[in-house]
Amino acid sequence: MFGEELHGERGLPTLTTCRFGPGPDASLNRRKLAYVLVGAIVLCTLGISHVSLRFAMREVSQQHRILQDEMRELVQQVGRLELENESLCSPDRLKAIGVETLGMREASPGSREALPFPRSMARKYLAPTPTPRRDPAAERADAPRVSTTQRMVTILDSVDRAVAGSPAR
């Protein structure tokens, strides 16, 4: 940029024209234009996608709030229905409905019938269970050891005999 020649008293450089070739071409050729257009399209697409996703997120959050409110209302309704069911199933209410609406009456103690419990079912449901170990010093030596199943069968036998001996209605 500065000339190599020194002029003047103090030897200050003088400005001369550039010796380099012509400067770079600042015009857009087809290739550069294609790159610029592709970049602009990508940026516009990203911007539009971002805005549409924000709207979608806002809509989904509103739907979520609405569904949460509905869920709270349904939970409260279930609680109310459970309380109503409990009040409708109370024994006093059922007895009143049976007497007033269905014409039922309470059975007298003499008209009740006790049915025997079959031994086959007793054996089925009263299977022997392992008994926990006991302290032998705490047990009495003369007490017989009887399992729970044997006790229940004995009780059921005595109930069967009592029912068989009771007068039929």
Question: Residue 127 corresponds to which tokens in the numbers above?
Answer: 């299977």
Is the model more confident about 150 or about 69? 69
The letter for the amino acid at 7 is H
- H-only helix segments in the chain: 30-88, 91-100, 119-125, 148-165
pTM tops 0.75, yes or no: no
Cα–Cα distance measured from residue 100 to residue 157, given in angstroms and rounded to the nearest whole number: 40
pLDDT, one tens digit per residue, over 37-92 is 999 999 999 999 999 999 999 999 999 999 999 999 999 999 999 999 888 888 88
pLDDT of residue 136 exceeding 50, the answer is yes
